[in-house]
Amino acid sequence: MVSVNTGNLRRITLPLLLVVSAFAISACQSKTASLESLDGLTTASTEPASFKKTAELGNRWQGDPKNLELGLAYADGLEKLGQTDQQLEVLAKLSAQNPEKSHIQVLLGKKLLAAGRSGQAIPVLKAVVDGGAADWRTLSALGSAYDQQAQYGTAREFYQKALALQPNQISVLNNMGMSHALEGNLKQAEETLRSAMTLPDGKSMPRLRQNLALVVGLQGRFEESRKIASEDLPPEEVEANMAYLQKMLSQPNTWQQLSDDTQG
């Protein structure tokens, strides 16, 4: 086992955790290794978006900006084309025009979160929560947003509220565990993730298992981490991950340099 400098593990920033946990988060779209998929925009068509069709939708929506269905279809097309900024602008306008439709506010908040704009997502999602229209998914998304802002205690308050509505929800427990990891509390992170693994669906969640492998590896228990990771990843990927963790954790200066770089 490699000796780990626990002083350097006292506080793990989100970007740094993403750097050292590529194997755990590569299968995940969320920056906090969430098990939840963000709510997608639904349209009448499942065809891939094209510039021409999306432009036509945009022109139609601009001529009828209060048409919610048309606006969502346009935003969907923009997202498929990778036009994130424009998509968020459309959703923001739809949200402002439909303040009574909490699902639009939630959709905007989650899309902001997915785009890495957690600072903007927080007030949007919190307004839904404060208005009493939040389900456990919204509460969990708000927790993820606070985690991205390094407000870990606040994040876990919302995870707890989500669990009160949906007890033993694996995706929320996963987020809770990774929140502890982000703060540097690896033992609590491991305990939370292992607890989630004991639930009926826990063992069928590769992403959860890889997050556990990450947390165990960050504590220097590489053989145990290797065994956990190998349940889902091919041997070459497992060995590459272990080699990277061992190198990083055996060189405190490397860890500090990564931390400095990601905080800059």
Higher-scoring residue by pLDDT: 244, 206? 206
Straight-line distance from the first to the last Cα atom of the chain, in angstroms, rounded to the nearest whole number: 31
Are the C-beta atoms of residues 175 and 207 closer than 8 Å to each other? no
Name the band, by pLDDT with cuts 50, 70 and 90, for residue 203: confident
Are the C-beta atoms of residues 101 and 114 closer than 8 Å to each other? no
CATH fold of 6-37+116-263 = 1.25.40
Residue with tokens 């607890």: 195
pLDDT for residue 135 is more than 80: yes
pLDDT, one tens digit per residue, over 14-32 is 444 543 443 333 333 334 4
> What residue type is 176 in one-letter code?
M
Q: Give the burial class of 222: count Cβ atoms within 10 A of its Cβ; 0-12 exposed, 13-18 middle, 19 or more buried.
A: buried
What is the average pLDDT across 125-135? 95
C-alpha torsion sign, points 18, 23, 29, 35: negative
pLDDT for 167 equals: 96
pLDDT, one tens digit per residue, over 88-115 is 999 999 999 999 999 999 999 999 999 9
pLDDT for 251 equals: 67
CA atoms within 13 A on the CB side of 176: 23
pTM value is 0.80
